Amino acid sequence: MATKPKPFRILGLDLSITSPGFAVVDVKKGAPSLVTTAHFTTAAATPQALRYEEIEAFALLFIRDHMPFDVVVREIWPPSRNYAQNNKIHGTWASVERALHRYGYEVDVHVTPANVKKTVTGNGSAKKPEVAQGVRDILRLDDDYAFKTDDHSDAAAVALTYCVREKLITIGEDD
């Protein structure tokens, strides 16, 4: 009895302290499919250290529920001149990295926001609605498919950028 080949599974991360986004995309025979997307909203009034703990707890559950992953891809931001902003994003990254580590994963690949936008829309300075539409197009979702937040579509775009870069999928005029 032959076993079916399992899809290649990508975890895409679009992280912020306010609303980190997560997406799982499977690729089978060159065709991507959206498994799920999610985000977690933290309250600005909550102490920063507790916000990191909340993000880590959410990530732990999300990872547990959707693994195994073949690759973990995170959007990475260039350093800001604003220390507080750098501190928040690095703390968020560390929170998710701790959750990944507990299951034996780490961030394998980093992609830049401009690269993500360019890959899914053809425009490195595309706006959020254009990114969401690009993701819908690549995944062949209905035009009226609504992502719950931009964090959902952005995380999916991160995963799809990896898929295109590694030639797991091709996008173009026929898509």
Cα 41 to Cα 88: distance, rounded to the nearest angstrom: 14
Contacts of residue 89, defined as CB under 8 A and 6 or more positions apart, other chains included, come to 15, 16, 17, 77
pLDDT tens string 158-167: 999 999 999 9
Cα 11 to Cα 2: distance, rounded to the nearest angstrom: 28
pLDDT tens string 83-130: 778 788 899 999 999 999 999 999 999 999 999 999 999 999 999 999
pTM: 0.94
